[in-house]
Amino acid sequence: MRTAAARLLLPTVLALSFAGLAAGAFLPSVPLLMASFAVGLTADIALHRWQRSVASSLGKLHATVTVRQVVRDLLMVAGLLRLEEQDYETRYLALVCGLLVFYGLHFACQALAIVVRRTRTLPVLTRNVDASALRLSAAPPALVMQRAGQRLLLFAVPSAAGLLAAAATGMARIAAVGIALSTVLAAVAVVMLLVRLLPSRRPATSEETLEWFESWLADYQPTVGMYFSGGTSSAYQANMWLEPLARLDGRPLIVLRERFMVKRIASTDIPIVCLPKVADLMRLEQSTLKMLIHPSNSGKTSQVLRIPTIKHAFVNHGESDKLSSCNPYAKAYDEVWVAGPAARERYALANVGVDDRDVVEIGRPQLHAIEPYAGAPKGEYTTVLYAPTWEGWDGNPGNTSVVEAGENIVRALLADPKVRLLYKPHPLTGSVDPRAGAANTRIQDMIRAASTARAAQHAQERPAPTAAADLAARTAELGRLTSSSYRTGADDAERMLLQSAPEPGRADAVAAATAAWEAAYWASFPVWQHQIVVGAGPTVYACFNVADLLISDVSSVISDYLASEKPYAVANTSGLPEREFRETFPTVRAGAVLTPDASGVPALLESVRHPEKDVYAADRTELKLHLLGPSDPPSVVRFNNASRALCAKAEEHRAAMAVRTLPVIPSQRDNEAALDNSDPDPVKG
């Protein structure tokens, strides 16, 4: 309720300011005019600064920022006219004309910004590619190019100050000076954009850019790659495959479809190209690219599958027992790469049209950094990672435990004085079911309250100042390596310029900096402090290494966590009896099952602290082999072998296509036979 009230505060103040302006102009009242005008302009600026979604909603109601500012200025001028009994035409006509010129320049700036953006919107967007041949330059300031509302409000500040001063002193000359200054600012913005349209300042055309792209493809000669298309919060699905892709034999390439995704891909040395249009995507058919891996299915995936010269492998972004892990769409790919025998069996049982001969077991090459089980917790506290998945699209209550069991699980864990809780919710939690989002918020509030109470108990213990300083230094270094390539509001051309050729060894430097940051992150907190882990870091794999126990749902988190063979538990909110739940979801069979009331948490913690009471240790070893496959050869090697085999199939297919398309050239014997069967020479006849 308080959040909703806070969101309505600025719009309410804005509406009241217009009512005050109208009343001040009608009475007329100088104090009311001045106060309403100043409050309204301030509220509008604050609205664009902190509540852009509300400002956008007002625009949908046709109460755009331009309309609001025009009405504000006209009401102010009307109030000034009412204050004058005579000669108002000559004194204020110039002010009205000046405001009209200012707004005319504002609209001209908006139109020019659209034109400039179109000239700078390139058909190909890249990272880690030397694009200097395209004559790219940095974009104009975002205030001029993109933020029309903020630009109008800020440029209107001098005219607003002049009108306020004129109302207070009765000197129209002061208002004229303020309006003139606002007009000059708008004119400068127009000139800045006009300069960008000069032939010498324009970037390469679309045709020139595509020609350059084809030339770059011919020079780089990519062989293996990853194709990815998705929403704003799905980049993690591609990021988990960056390191395995970089280790493959050949020249890797990342192909994206959404422009915003270019800056959401994590730091890597691999060249990245974004091809939003299908026609431009088809240019890959003539390249040396042999195979693409696909971490997810999307509507745009079918477009790249049309390219016959490239082989496609579906690798998924995780494997679980849920139906989404054996989607019928998988049969559209040339091969389906899975972790181990369990996924192969899952596809066979699902009977979705995937031929078993097209299923290749590669393990999970991302899991090489997960540390193995080392027995009971070494310290005073047992670290429990609660990592529930999201609610999914099908409305199945068993998808996530957050709604029905999450608060009970967290409450039971927080009740144990020797538990340190790490809570890492799925990034999509609450995106479909509002109840999941509300439960997630309540869980985080519970954890914060428990952390505050525990901090009071340990008030005498102060963390070493060097730990916080080390984390700050590591954060700054990691930020320098990973986020220095982009600026806020940068357009396509500027992004291509800033993300030019990759620095040698940058990926290794980022990996080392990430490891150092994760170590500093965990060291910066007391061993008893609960943590809510959201955002890009630390990753769930880093959480695996510090956890003694995992509590999750039926999801790929369980499969990945089994690489450590540590104890785990699965929340059963499906409504199925435990025996049927274990039979339905094989990943559950080597872990404890928690009911929605979380009554089994104390016994679960006891088995973790005393491994002799752990009845699932042998089952976890067996299930790990079943889910992830053998550890020899390592998953990284199996992944590379599968890539090489698929590339060989692509080469065979291209060779067969080339033979079928070769022109038929008559042999010498065919020529002689044709002469023998021809008509007699008319001269000899």
What's the start-to-end Cα distance of the chain, in Å? Answer: 108
- Does residue 149 share a domain with residue 30? yes
469 assigned to some structural domain: no
One-letter amino acid identity for 236? Y
Cα 409 from chain centroid (whole Å):
29
Report mean pLDDT in 10-residue bins for the chain, 685 residues. Answer: 66 90 86 90 88 85 88 85 60 79 92 90 88 80 88 92 86 89 95 90 87 94 95 87 91 94 86 94 94 92 93 88 75 93 88 90 90 89 94 78 95 96 91 90 95 86 73 81 50 55 65 86 90 85 94 91 94 92 90 95 95 93 92 92 95 85 52 44 36
Q: Is 262 helix (H, G, I), strand (E, B) or coil?
A: helix
Same-domain check for residues 419 and 547? yes
Closest CA to 582 of 565, 567, 594: 594
Whether residue 161 sits in one domain with residue 192 = yes
Asked if residue 415 is part of any domain, the answer here is yes
Are residue 325 and residue 251 in the same domain, yes or no?
yes
Rounded Cα gap, residues 148 and 202, in angstroms? 22
Q: Report phi then psi at 163, rounded to 5.
A: -65, -40
In angstroms, what CA-CA distances link 126 with 181, 216, 270, 505? 41, 11, 11, 19
| CA 91 to mean position of chain CA atoms | 56
pLDDT at position 268: 82
Together in a domain, 551 and 572? yes
Same domain, 550 and 401: yes
The answer on 56 and 162 residing in a single domain is: yes
Show the tokens assigned to 55. Answer: 């400002």
Indicate left, alpha or beta for 87 from its phi (over 0: left) and psi (-120 to 50: alpha): left
Distance from C-alpha of 44 to C-alpha of 536, rounded to nearest angstrom: 33
- Residue 134 resides in a domain: no
Position 281 scores a pLDDT of 95
Q: Cα(248)–Cα(221) distance, rounded to whole angstroms?
A: 15
Amino acid at the residue 445: D
Do 345 and 387 belong to one domain? no
385 and 339 in a single domain? The answer is no
The strand pairing partners of 420, in sequence order, are 383
Q: How far is CA 3 from the centre of its chain?
A: 26
The answer as to whether 356 is a domain residue is: yes
Amino acid at 502: P
The answer to the question of residue 438 being in a domain is yes
The helix, strand and coil proportions of the chain, stated in percent and rounded to the nearest 5, come to 55, 10, 35
In a domain, 650, yes or no: no
Domain boundary among 363, 389, 404: 363
Q: Which H or E run includes 667?
A: none
- The residue from 586, 612, 628 where one domain ends is 628
Residue 106 lies in a domain: yes
Q: Which of 628, 646, 668 is the last residue in one of the domains?
A: 628
pLDDT of residue 292: 97
Instruction: Please check whether residues 359 and 386 belong to one and the same domain.
Output: no
Separation CA 360–CA 337 (nearest Å): 5
Both 418 and 544 in one domain: the answer is yes
**Is residue 381 a contact partner of residue 548, using CB atoms and an 8 Å limit?**
no
C-alpha separations of 441 from 73, 173, 395, 446 in Å: 43, 56, 20, 9
Cβ neighbours of residue 482 closer than 8 Å, sequence gap 6 or more: 266, 267, 510
Q: Residue 114: which domain range?
A: 2-121+141-196
| 190 occurs within a structural domain | yes
Q: Are residues 347 and 390 in the same domain?
A: no
Structural domain count of the chain? 3
CATH assignment at residue 430: 3.40.50.2000
What's residue 506's pLDDT?
65
d(CA 402, CA 405): 6
CA 647 from chain centre, in angstroms, equals: 30
Q: How many residues does the chain have?
A: 685
pTM of the model: 0.76
Q: Which long-range contacts (CB under 8 A, 24 or more apart) does 654-657 make?
A: 654/309, 657/308, 657/309
Q: In what order do the strands lie in the sheet with 568-571?
A: 531-532, 419-423, 382-387, 549-552, 568-571, 592-594
